[in-house]
């Protein structure tokens, strides 16, 4: 089944506990990551990771061990409760074991949550999930957040807004991607301390433009410029940029590089990339190659898991170390 708009929003918020799973795909890795987080939390509950009811693997890992996804779906957990198998960043060349696992799914198995990039209508992965009686496929595009999504984000932070502040929040939702929008709402909620929020508070908490420096530190890693990463991370840390935001943006960049490497070049990317960024990405694709980009994506997935775990390691330090490791990989 293919879900869109309000149907998709309701599914992420209150998924059918008997679902076989969901494919979430789109060109914006941030949107995809936020929605898969929401879905997994609502399918398996907030303690699924601690109780070992959540199994994670990358698309490359699934391809390397073709039975891994099926085995994970059918494994019996030590703790009672719903189970989820999450396969991240699956491309068409990695899709076969995922499709086979979905076809072999039976009642009582874990739910299968899969993420992918900007998959075409002809995608075998899309067709498998869209044609399955108990699974869904959801495509996420660079459209502004819907009113339902904005209302849900405001409610999740417990915000009370006066009319002027509400107009400002609606404008922010149009200007920011969903991840930055939610982070801004969290900052506003902390600032407000339970009181009604006015327009002034929204203006104070609205983020400055940081995309350029975020792109710069990721480009430094992809180009092998390890020495530039430390100073850039200091500046980003001073601006309040979260490590999780950086790992999502870095993953999106390296997923685009991998898609270009296996799909015939940067010119075939959808959505297209223009200008100097296209030239830089074309150079990076040639320097890395598909195999090393898969290794880089595995490192970023491991970093993402560490940042979202109960680890006490400083988040920005963990992210800086990962970027430096990527830069060193780029030199080899």
CA nearest neighbour of 182 among 159, 165, 204: 159
The C-alpha atoms of residue 173 and residue 28 are separated, in whole angstroms, by: 16
278 close to 306: Cβ distance less than 8 angstroms = no
159-207 confidence digits (pLDDT tens) = 999 988 888 888 778 767 777 788 889 889 998 888 999 888 887 787 6
Structure tokens given for 99:
């499709």
Which tokens hold the place of 176? 């920011």
Question: pTM of the prediction?
Answer: 0.56
Query: Which pLDDT tens digit goes with each residue over 84-106?
Result: 999 999 999 999 999 999 999 99
Domains and CATH numbers, the chain: 2-139 (3.40.50.300), 147-205 (no CATH), 211-331 (1.20.272.10)
Cβ within 8 Å of residue 313, ≥6 positions away:
306
């Amino acid at each position: 089944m293919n879900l869109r708009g309000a149907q998709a929003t309701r599914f992420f918020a209150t998924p059918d506990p008997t679902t076989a799973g969901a494919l979430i795909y789109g060109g914006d890795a941030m949107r995809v990551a936020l929605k898969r987080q929401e879905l997994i939390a609502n399918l398996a509950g907030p303690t699924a990771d601690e109780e070992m009811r959540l199994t994670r693997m990358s698309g490359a890992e699934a391809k390397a061990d073709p039975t891994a996804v099926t085995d994970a779906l059918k494994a019996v957990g030590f703790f009672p409760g719903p189970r989820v198998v999450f396969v991240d960043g699956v491309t068409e060349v990695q899709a076969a074991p995922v499709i086979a696992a979905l076809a072999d799914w039976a009642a009582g198995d874990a739910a299968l949550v899969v993420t992918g990039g900007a998959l075409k209508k002809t995608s075998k992965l899309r067709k498998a999930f869209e044609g399955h009686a108990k699974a869904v496929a959801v495509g996420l595009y660079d459209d502004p957040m819907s009113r339902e999504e904005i209302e849900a984000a405001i409610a999740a932070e417990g915000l009370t807004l006066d009319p002027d502040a509400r107009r400002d929040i609606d404008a922010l939702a149009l200007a920011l991607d969903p991840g930055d929008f939610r982070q801004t709402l969290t900052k506003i909620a902390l600032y407000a301390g339970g009181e009604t929020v006015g327009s002034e508070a929204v203006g104070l908490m609205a983020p400055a433009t940081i995309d350029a420096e975020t792109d710069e530190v990721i480009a430094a890693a992809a180009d092998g410029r390890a020495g530039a990463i430390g100073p850039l991370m200091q500046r980003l840390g001073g601006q309040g940029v979260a490590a999780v935001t950086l790992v999502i943006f870095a993953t999106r960049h390296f997923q685009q590089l991998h898609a270009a490497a296996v799909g015939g070049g940067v010119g075939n990317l959808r959505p297209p990339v223009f200008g100097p960024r296209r030239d830089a990405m074309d150079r990076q694709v040639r320097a890395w190659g598909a195999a090393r980009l898969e290794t880089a994506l595995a490192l970023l997935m491991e970093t993402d898991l560490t940042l979202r775990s109960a680890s006490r390691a400083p988040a920005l330090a963990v992210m800086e170390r990962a970027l430096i490791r990527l830069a060193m990989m780029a030199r080899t």
